[in-house]
Amino acid sequence: MEFAELIKTPRVDGVVLHRPFLPTVEGTLCLTGHHLILSSRQDNTEELWLLHSNIDSIEKRFVGSLGSIIVKCKDLRVIQLDIPGMEECLNIASSIEALSTLDSVSLMYPFFYRPMFEVIEDGWNSFLPEDAFKDLESMTDEWRLSEVNKDFSVCPSYPPLVAVPKDIDDETLRKVATFRHGGRFPVLSYYHKKNGMVMMRAGQPLTGTNGRRCKEDEKLINATLRPGKRGYIIDTRTINVAQQAKARGGGIESEANYPQWRRIHKAIERSNVLQESLIKLVEACNDQSHNMDRWLSKLEASNWQTHVKEILTTACLAAQCIDREGASVLVHGTEGTDTTLQVTSLAQIILDPSCRTIRGFQGLVEREWLQAGHPFQQRCAQSAYSNSKPRQEAPVFLLFLDCVWQILRQFPCSFEFSESYLVLLFEHAYASQFGTFLGNSAAERAKLSLPEKTVSLWSWVNRHQEIERLTNPLFEANSLVIWPSVAPQSLLLWEGVFLRWNRSSKCLDEAYEEMVHIIEYNKELQNKVNSLRRQLAQLETEDPLLQTP
């Protein structure tokens, strides 16, 4: 067994675990193929179970023969293990390093994990494109489900089934795919029931320096316009970046060829810049020696909040075009797998109440992120502590979750889920026992046979106990469009993620409990009132004496 070779010392006694704001625990440290386990072997004390894949980096320190390993996790937690014995310490450290950086996906824990709960509903089948399309069909007949990509040959990052305008045949789609980055021809992302407007997404057009055009592409996106109406193309790059892309074969939709469309450029940062931003932010949050000025200047220098504002602003713009201007929208950046998805998914949170439910949000993540080909495995391979040079890592999904949290903060009663749901998704996107976020596209997931070999996160979440834990007690269905404020004064640092391990949350948790208590008490009273009313009403009907003479 391969893992056994990597584990030089499987067990050490007398290890002391230090965690911020929690008492230290002394116990036995065990390494398994996928976990680091610390158990005090006493009742009532917590055991630590840490997935190796959750470990972002480790540091070793020695004082005499006492070694310490500082474990920095992808969920931003930092813990310290004091290990007696230099050799043991070195062995443990090198084992952890090896086990946390396994290259092969098929060695990941989800392939070994067996659920300890009864799977009532298989999450792998919960959000099939054909089901989503049925809902669409009930609203409009202008779209069809195309199988042109069923073997992933037209667009490797698209799912086998995509929704396209009804009048566009598969042959046209194949041609359009050659004109769009990564073969990502324009597909339907969202249909706004209120006015029939749509949001589409795609990769950039491959116009190149000589201004190549593609009649089929024009035909496709024009097919989504109502007669006499104009649409908006939201390009998530600045005009300069977009122009420069021409030199590498990319480009923009020129006004001459797309006269019915107005192009708007909005700058959203991507890739390396975001990863650096995350690293700087986490560094600022973890340094407790800062004075006020230094903290604020570090926070500013990280630019994280700027990214949040940029993304939210662009999403609001897209939503505004659809809802207020009554226009259709096409969103793309370069590849159409990162910034594009942030915008299209957030716009749906703003516009569509069903995306603000627990299940609806899963559907959104499934549709707009997993099926839409956001390369989770590449983006989430490292988090803020990794020492290795970032390759394709970027906290694109975390930024999306942060933006959702900002909207949740501003509309605390309009979401069925609470903050912990967002935190949970963040954790599982980076390290998980479930297969949901493995792979980079539908094609890769199919190749890995994830639905057959692993358990879906949704199977676990959609159980009564979990749903209850993630439900927002303040939720009151709100069927309206919710417009968040994007003023810097309205946007906050997401403490639940970035300060989660740096503060004691006891006081806040207790206040939350109190809130839940107030809400439950209120409900209980209402129930009692109702039952008494019923009782009285019953007495009344049963005794004619009490009827009005």
- Which residues ranging from 303 to 342 are in contact with another protein (CB under 8 A)? 303, 305-306, 308-309
Q: Which stretch binds another protein (CB under 8 A): 113-121, 226-234, 360-368, 404-412?
A: 404-412
CB of 413 to another protein, least distance (A): 5
Locate 291 and state its tokens: 């004075």
Our CB check for another protein shows the closer of 447 and 503 to be: 503
Query: CB neighbours (10 Å) of residue 132?
Result: 18
119 near another protein (CB under 8 A) = no
CB of 318 to another protein, least distance (A): 17
- Residue 197 — φ and ψ, nearest 5°? -80, 155
Q: Which stretch binds another protein (CB under 8 A): 41-49, 189-197, 334-342, 493-501?
A: 493-501
Q: Which of left, alpha, beta for 495 (phi over 0: left; psi -120 to 50: alpha)?
A: alpha
Our CB check for another protein shows the closer of 54 and 406 to be: 406
User: CB–CB of 36/28 below 8 Å?
Assistant: no
Long-range contacts of 62-65, Cβ-Cβ distance < 8 Å, separation of 24 or more: 62/86, 62/89
Our CB check for another protein shows the closer of 221 and 318 to be: 318
Our CB check for another protein shows the closer of 238 and 535 to be: 535
CB of 316 to another protein, least distance (A): 12
Element (H, E) at 458: helix 457-461
194 near another protein (CB under 8 A) = no
Spatial neighbors of 405 by CB under 8 A, at least 6 apart, are: 419, 422, 494, 496
70 near another protein (CB under 8 A) = no
User: CB–CB of 38/27 below 8 Å?
Assistant: yes
503 near another protein (CB under 8 A) = yes
539 near another protein (CB under 8 A) = yes
**Footprint of another protein on residues 256-295 (CB under 8 A)?**
285, 288, 290-295
Q: Which stretch binds another protein (CB under 8 A): 87-95, 156-164, 421-429, 517-525?
A: 517-525
**Footprint of another protein on residues 373-402 (CB under 8 A)?**
none
Spatial neighbors of 84 by CB under 8 A, at least 6 apart, are: 12, 14, 15, 65, 66, 67
**CA dist., res. 510 & res. 512, Å (int):** 5
CB of 523 to another protein, least distance (A): 9
Our CB check for another protein shows the closer of 167 and 540 to be: 540
- State the residue for tokens 């039952």: 531
Our CB check for another protein shows the closer of 164 and 282 to be: 282
**CA dist., res. 221 & res. 219, Å (int):** 6
Our CB check for another protein shows the closer of 306 and 378 to be: 306
Residue 119 one-letter amino acid: V
**CA dist., res. 204 & res. 234, Å (int):** 11
Q: Binders of another protein: how many residues, by CB under 8 A?
A: 75
**Footprint of another protein on residues 75-94 (CB under 8 A)?**
none
| Coil, helix or strand at residue 192 | strand
Among 128, 145, 264, 481, binds another protein (CB under 8 A): 481
Helices (H), 246-357: 271-286, 292-302, 304-323, 339-351
Our CB check for another protein shows the closer of 174 and 409 to be: 409
**Footprint of another protein on residues 405-464 (CB under 8 A)?**
409-414
118 near another protein (CB under 8 A) = no
536 near another protein (CB under 8 A) = yes
